[in-house]
Structure 1
Amino acid sequence: MALAAVASGKGGGVLDRPAEKVTPGRQSEFDVKKKRKMTPPYRVILHNDNYNRREYVVKVLMKVIPGMTVDNAVNIMQEAHVNGLAVVIICSQSEAEDHCTSLRGNGLRSSIEPASGGC
């Protein structure tokens, strides 16, 4: 493509992408991403209990938390077993509430708290 075509606005260059139309009351993709980054992070805490087997806790962590690996789940379970609690994940408040509800729904004791000091 010739430079003259790009300068005149003809041709399908990268900069020719149409501007995103934002209707009143609707947030742009940028606003949504900015809001997501600005929400304070929360910790999902797993509490030790004397009822669930360790293998079950690992399975639930892997089922409930996206991207949870076996190694991470075992480490979290072990930390909760030894210390009484462990941080499962740090995320937005709404995600933390969802994860906490899912963990509780599977019989595990969990809570959330603000993650002071950021991620």
Structure 2
Amino acid sequence: MKAAAVPSRIALSPNRFVNHHAVSGDRSSTYRRRSTNVAFPIVITAAAPGKGGGVLDRPTEKVSPGRQSEFDVKKSRKMSPPFRVVLHNDNENRREYVVQVLMKVIPGMTVDNAVNIMQEAHVNGMAVVIVCSQQEAEEHCTALRGNGLRSSIEPASGGC
């Protein structure tokens, strides 16, 4: 059986429409019918030239010679071997003073932690104050010594 031809919904003849806004390089054009005010918008989009198709490239960090980037500094801190700052017992300083100095010198040190470290150093002769990079350990040790406490640093890798 032969299928019946279905007439199209709109039969347009080329002379019934006029291009009112067709300009070279224009991104949209409007075609109007001569007898009515019906408009058919046409949008033409084009891909932007260049690689990536609109995806932004990650900015590169410019580092001047002889200067490390922030990422390299953080990476070297994480990769440097850890050091322990050790507090040694002494008979010259009062316990309350030791707790005050620990809280002043070590960032984030709480009263409870400072008391526990002081007590461990008093009972056992020494206590680990903090484990950090070598540079930070040297700074903390110098600050503790500057406040009259006995302290030292040692690599943290050798037996915990």
Give me the TM-score of the superposition, normalised by structure 2: 0.63
Partner of 1:30: 71
Number of aligned residue pairs: give it: 111
Give me the TM-score of the superposition, normalised by structure 1: 0.83
Structure 1 unaligned residues grouped into runs of 5+: 10-14
Higher relative contact order (CA 8 A, sep 6+): 1
Bigger drift between 17-26 and 72-81 goes to 17-26
Report the CA distance between 1:118 and its aligned residue. Answer: 8.9
Partner of 1:8: 54
Structure 2 unaligned residues grouped into runs of 5+: 1-46
Could you tell me the percent identity over the aligned residues? 85
Higher strand proportion: 2
Higher helix proportion: 1
Please say which structure displays the higher CA radius of gyration.
Answer: 2
The answer to whether residue 111 in structure 2 is matched with residue 70 in structure 1 is: yes
The answer to whether residue 131 in structure 2 is matched with residue 90 in structure 1 is: yes
Give every structure 1 segment of 4 or more consecutive aligned residues whose post-TM-superposition deviation is greater than 6 Å: none
Partner of 1:109: 150
Distance 2:158 2:122 in 1: 26
Q: CA RMSD in A?
A: 2.2
